[in-house]
Amino acid sequence: MFWIYILECADGSFYTGHTDNLGVRITQHQQGTFVDCYTFQRRPLKLVYAQDFPSRHEAFQAERKVKNWSRAKKMALIKGNWHELSVSSKPRPKEIE
């Protein structure tokens, strides 16, 4: 089984990743195992979302997609607010001048 996960960093930002061992990966992030990782200087971290996938490819594809999402859209996913997730996916209308 493979996972996509979102961590909330101490500065309020989000980090999205994928792994085949969620518990080990979260521990590695918390302990600062990856010194060049985005999360290293932003600890402590909180796991706020995880979803399993049957293959590494599917988890990787989901990670790539979610990483490009806006903060609002990630928040909707984390909260399980499917309506807001849908609204966040629609392009905003251009302002009339």
Q: What is the pTM of this model?
A: 0.88
What are the pLDDT digits (tens) for 49-76? Answer: 999 999 999 999 999 999 999 999 999 9
In 3D, which of 56, 72, 40 has the Cα closest to residue 64?
56
Residue 45 lies in a domain: yes
Residue 21 lies in a domain: yes
Task: Determine the structural domain holding residue 29 and report its residue range.
Answer: 2-69
Distance CA 71, CA 66 (A): 10
- How many domains does the structure of the chain reveal? 1
Exposed / middle / buried, residue 51 (Cβ in 10 Å: 0-12, 13-18, 19+): middle
Residue 27 lies in a domain: yes
What are the pLDDT digits (tens) for 26-45? Answer: 999 999 999 999 999 999 99
Residue 57 lies in a domain: yes
Q: What is the CATH number of the domain that holds 44?
A: 3.40.1440.10
Residue 77 lies in a domain: no
